[in-house]
Each structure stands twice: as structure tokens, then as C-alpha cells.
Amino acid sequence: MSERIEAAVERLRVRPHDVVLEVGCGHGVAVDLICQRLKSGKVVAIDRSPKMIAAAKLRNRVHVETGLAEFHAADLEKYDPRGQKFDAILALRVGLFHREPRKAQDLVKRWLKPRGRIVAEYDEP
């Protein structure tokens, strides 16, 4: 388990009833950590790679079956949460947050509930 991912999820301060969006979920490691903190909330995870979504669904199949997690192959700039608002948004190593942080922040802020939290970090792999 990556200490970097664990630390980022800790900074997200997930509460048991939160609805969380993870942008760029990759293999779904953070989704698992988030789901361990949830009771009735859920995590919606997106990644532009269908291959990563498949891997993340497999890793988190129990969370998907219990309704704590859902996955979508989607590009951040084209994603439509269909009116859903989030308590927290996590984005780790998402290029748009590195290249155009203001654009990325503006994009996801409209999906946040009042007093919602964003943890967005970019470091080199």
C-alpha cells in the first residue's frame, strides 16, 4: 500500500456518510481506503482508461456489490455527475491539476457541496 495514497486519503477526512469523487482512480487503491471509512456514503471513481476502471472494479468488487463504490470510464473535462454533489474530491497525479490547476479546481468546485473538501496532489511517479 502506498504511503502517499494513505496520507492523501487521511487528509481528505472522510466521514461515514460522505459522498466522495475520486478523479483518476487508477487501480482503485484509494477507493478501497475510502470505502473502509464509509458506512452509508459512497465513492464515485472515474478514470479515462477503461483498463484501469476494470482493474479498480476487480480490486473493489465487494465495495461495488455493497453499493459503496461505483466506477466510470470518463475524462475529467467531459465527466457529467448528473447533478450529484460531493462532500470531498480526491485527485492524485491527475495531469490537468498539474498543468492547469485553476482550470481543474474550477471544474470540480462546481460539483462540491457547501464546505466540501478537495485534496489534489501531483508528484512525479
Give per-10-residue mean pLDDT for the chain (125 aa): 90 98 97 97 98 98 98 95 96 92 91 96 77
How confident is the model at residue 122, as a pLDDT?
82
The 3-state secondary structure of the chain reads CCHHHHHHHHHHCCCCCCEEEEECCCCCHHHHHHHCCCCCCEEEEEECCHHHHHHHHHHCHHHHHCCCEEEEECCHHHCCCCCCCEEEEEEECCHHHHHCHHHHHHHHHCCEEEEEEEEEECCCC
> Candidates 3.40.50.150, 2.40.340.10, 2.60.40.10, 3.30.930.10; correct CATH number of 3-121?
3.40.50.150
